[in-house]
Structure 1
Amino acid sequence: MEFRIERTALTDAVAWAARVLPTRSPVPVLGGLLLEAADGRLSISGLDYEASARIEVAAETVRAGKVLVMGRRLLDVCRVLPEKVVECAVEGSRFSLTSDGARFGLSVLPFDDYPALPPLPAVLGEVDAEEFAAAVAHVAVAAGRDDALPTLTGIRLALDGDTMTLAATDRYRFAVRTLAWKPDADRDRDGDGVAADVVVSARRLTEIARSFGPGGLVRLALDGGSAGFELAGMRTTVRLLDGRLPRHDKLFTMTGAVTAETDRAPLVEAVKRVAVVAEGGSPLHLTFSEGSVLLQAGYEDDVASQRLPAVLEGAEDITVAFNPAYLMDALGSFDAPVIRFELMGPGQRAMVTGRTPGADTTDPRPATHQHLLMSAKPLL
């Protein structure tokens, strides 16, 4: 095996494939990356028991072949190589990399115990890479972190016709984002649309969505046990989580709610400022009244407050309290200049959405991005 490739292209490809490598594994070969060169292309793949990744890039093939080397060590080497063409070759039991006088030799791993890369499941359709990455980021902040409740560490990915719904909850907050996607015509011959409802690890899905970058259409593939994503020579799979996330329909019904609006940027800065004195999980209080909202935190000796302009409808005043970190996560997931609160009362549900000035607030359609918070107790 022998090939030549630009150092940047090699480094980027190795880094992309190495994302899925386990930090620790009882099977040493799972720390390896498989490099295969043939017909002017270099493919690099890696896997563990939860996910796999394979990327293909252009490379001058001198002699076709394949080699398995430790992935993280290879990435370290690629990062320090001179910014020149890299000549790579298998020489006996070593894989050599040479560039502008610098030379490295890495031990070759045996192929015998290396598992086959899982195939990509059936492709169901395509979604814009940039919109998909933004949507995943919006809901991932609400996913659980407790591995004792593995389903809650995932993101629900539901397909219904040409609508994709992403949702996540840790029982104290619930984020939902909908976006358009394009079902594969061959999968929708009867015109009823493509339907699916699965749970994918929030950490894995966030990594995948970010890795594709801002351009192109991501091909989405699903079967009974895994999800696959493919774009421009990059292909990755991830094992689905068992179980189902709870439905959010009833929780998101805010009949009789009091509504309040304030500018997002000043609110974010005020929450950061006032929350400095909120220690030990103490809440941050927001008191909405006609024309303003008062933020308060702290008890006895250390206290902080700040008042901001706000618009309140449906009550003379109302006070709610949130975990400051949860509130910051929610506010940070919005891009809209105005934040809209729908408040059921102290200790109850609060819906957070974004709004652009001039938008129709009477539109009966639900917002594409909604974040539900509870002030004192779990939602579920």
Structure 2
Amino acid sequence: MELRIAKSALSSAVLDVLRVIPAKPVTTILGGILIEADLASVSFSAFDYERSLTVMTTADVSVPDRVLVSGKLLANIAKVLPAKPVTMLVDGNSLAIIAGSARFTLPLMSVDDFPRLPKPDDPSGTIDARVLIDLIERASTAAGKDESMQMLTGIKIDTEGQDIIFGATDRFRLSCQIAQWSPVVDDSQHSILVGAAELQDLAKALTETDDVTLHFGDGTLSVTTARSTATIRLLDVEFPKYRALFPPEYGTAASVETAQLAEALNRATVMTAAFPLVLLDFSEKGIRVHLASEGTGTVDEWVEANVYGVDVEIKTNAQYLRQALAAAHTDMVTIGIVKDNRPYLVHPGTLTSPEMYMPFSAPESEYRHLVMPVRK
């Protein structure tokens, strides 16, 4: 192999692919990055049997070949190379990496021992990259991290015609968003469960200008762009029928500036450490954020808000509410509350004609985030 590649292209591709490599690979081979060069381009791939990622980029290739080297070491080298064109060439049993006056060599690993990369199934449809990234980011805020409850570590993806729905829950909060995609078959329906962490890594490898194709396969989800091909093995566990958990009506609704409420929550939680629990009073005066910390002190703050319906007080995990506010991605949010010990809703936007919405219900087409309060 001998090729010449831009330093920025090499760094971007290698660092994206590195996310697929486990911190502690089961075998040395699975810690490698496969480099495949043809006459016009070069690709970098990693695969750990659970997921794969191939990133392609342009290069001036003199000698096509395929080699395997340590992914971690290649990434470390790519980070520190000078901002010069990079030459990569096989030199005996090593891969030489040269940029300016800097020269590195990496021992070659057995390319024949690297597992065969999975191939994507037939295309199922396309989606705007910005929409997909947003769906993943929002759903991930509610996904669980406890591997002993694997079903809660995933993101449920359903398609119903031109609607694509992402949902996730860790039992304490629930995220759901409906967006638009373009299916190959208009009335197609799919229902899969994919690891949230794997989807987050995928989102980091996408750019907002990518044209993204989704491939719903038998046991895998593949995501392809002009630059990359990713496959993720599906979670083979049942997921709760979460969409039925959203209450149809709320007795109280409050429209509030997202930043003001988030800042008040930040100030309140300096009074506590491990469990940032706060009380929120909703009344015609607005939203009162208060906290009493035994042996430390108290904090009280009123946040201006338009509150409709009955007065209510809830106790909640401030961190969960802050994350729900951040995921709304809007200047204003609306909070819907059934009563003090029932899950409350956060969704983007405000009520412009509240008398038309009481008892309040959130449109299903919008992003919705449900949070379980703490019993007082």
Report the TM-score range of the alignment, normalised by the length of the smaller protein. over 0.9
Secondary structure in 1 matching 2:17: helix
Partner of 1:304: 299
Partner of 1:14: 14
Q: Shift of the alpha carbon at 1:221?
A: 0.8
Partner of 1:336: 330
AA matched with 1:307: W
Q: Shift of the alpha carbon at 1:280?
A: 4.1
* Whole-angstrom CA distance in 2 between matches of 1:22 and 1:121: 25
Partner of 1:42: 42
* Whole-angstrom CA distance in 1 between matches of 2:244 and 2:151: 20
Q: Are 1:236 and 2:236 matched, yes or no?
A: no
* Whole-angstrom CA distance in 2 between matches of 1:259 and 1:70: 55
Secondary structure in 2 matching 1:123: coil
TM-score (norm 2): 0.94
The list of structure 1 runs, each at least 4 consecutive aligned residues, that deviate by more than 4 angstroms after superposition, is 356-364
Return 5+ residue gaps in structure 1 as ranges: none
Matches within 5 A, 1:54-65: 54-65=54-65
Given that residues 322 and 376 in structure 1 are in contact (C-alpha distance below 8 angstroms), is that contact kept between their aligned partners in structure 2?
yes
Given that residues 279 and 298 in structure 1 are in contact (C-alpha distance below 8 angstroms), is that contact kept between their aligned partners in structure 2?
no
Q: Shift of the alpha carbon at 1:85?
A: 1.4
Render the CA deviation track for 1:297-343: whole Å, top value 9, x for unaligned.
1334321111111222221x210111111111111111222221111
AA matched with 2:368: Q
Partner of 1:164: 164
Partner of 2:369: 371
Given that residues 227 and 237 in structure 1 are in contact (C-alpha distance below 8 angstroms), is that contact kept between their aligned partners in structure 2?
yes
- Report the RMSD for the aligned CA atoms in angstroms: 1.8
Q: Are 1:281 and 2:279 matched, yes or no?
A: no
When residues 26 and 251 of structure 1 are mapped into structure 2, their CA distance, relative to the original with a 3 A threshold, is: closer
Secondary structure in 1 matching 2:112: coil
TM-score (norm 1): 0.93
Moved more, 336-345 or 101-110: 336-345
Partner of 1:106: 106
Q: Shift of the alpha carbon at 1:269?
A: 0.3
Moved more, 357-366 or 167-176: 357-366
Q: Shift of the alpha carbon at 1:256?
A: 4.6
* Whole-angstrom CA distance in 2 between matches of 1:335 and 1:127: 20
When residues 66 and 359 of structure 1 are mapped into structure 2, their CA distance, relative to the original with a 3 A threshold, is: farther
Given that residues 282 and 298 in structure 1 are in contact (C-alpha distance below 8 angstroms), is that contact kept between their aligned partners in structure 2?
no
Given that residues 36 and 42 in structure 2 are in contact (C-alpha distance below 8 angstroms), is that contact kept between their aligned partners in structure 1?
yes
Given that residues 337 and 356 in structure 1 are in contact (C-alpha distance below 8 angstroms), is that contact kept between their aligned partners in structure 2?
no
Q: Are 1:120 and 2:124 matched, yes or no?
A: no
AA matched with 2:301: Q
* Whole-angstrom CA distance in 1 between matches of 2:229 and 2:353: 39
* Whole-angstrom CA distance in 2 between matches of 1:288 and 1:110: 65
Given that residues 334 and 351 in structure 2 are in contact (C-alpha distance below 8 angstroms), is that contact kept between their aligned partners in structure 1?
no
When residues 68 and 220 of structure 1 are mapped into structure 2, their CA distance, relative to the original with a 3 A threshold, is: same
Secondary structure in 2 matching 1:232: coil
Q: Are 1:267 and 2:267 matched, yes or no?
A: no
Q: Are 1:217 and 2:211 matched, yes or no?
A: yes
Q: Shift of the alpha carbon at 1:112?
A: 3.1
Q: Shift of the alpha carbon at 1:228?
A: 0.6
Q: Shift of the alpha carbon at 1:54?
A: 0.6
Q: How many residues align?
A: 370
* Whole-angstrom CA distance in 2 between matches of 1:35 and 1:163: 38
